[in-house]
Amino acid sequence: MWPLWTVATRGGARMKHFKEREFSLFNYMCDILYNFYKTNGLEHCCALESLMGGNYKTEGQKEWLKRFGDVWDKVEQREVKR
């Protein structure tokens, strides 16, 4: 499987929703989160706010938001180390 950042830019492809933004892992993750909210008919906000405020319809969506938050934290730690 290709790394996250490779898939997003492979073959000249860009992010699905935020095409005008320069590619970065943070922007790509925002694109993924936007798609999650759009696909599931949820209010668009921060993933942590969604968890705290109950902005999900199923336990599966709640788990997805938790995992997304974990990945976000790792990306953030990586950027801080740079």
CB < 8 Å & 24+ apart, contacts of 3-8: 4/28
**How many other CB atoms are found less than 10 A from the CB of residue 33?**
21
Quote the CA–CA distance of 14 and 7 in Å, as a whole number: 9
User: Contact at 8 Å (CB) between 1 and 13?
Assistant: no
Write out pLDDT tens, residues 1-35.
334 443 444 444 455 666 666 778 888 899 999 99
Q: How far apart are CA 64 and CA 35, in angstroms?
A: 13
Domain edges within the chain: 24-81
> Biggest alpha carbon distance in the chain?
39
pTM: 0.74
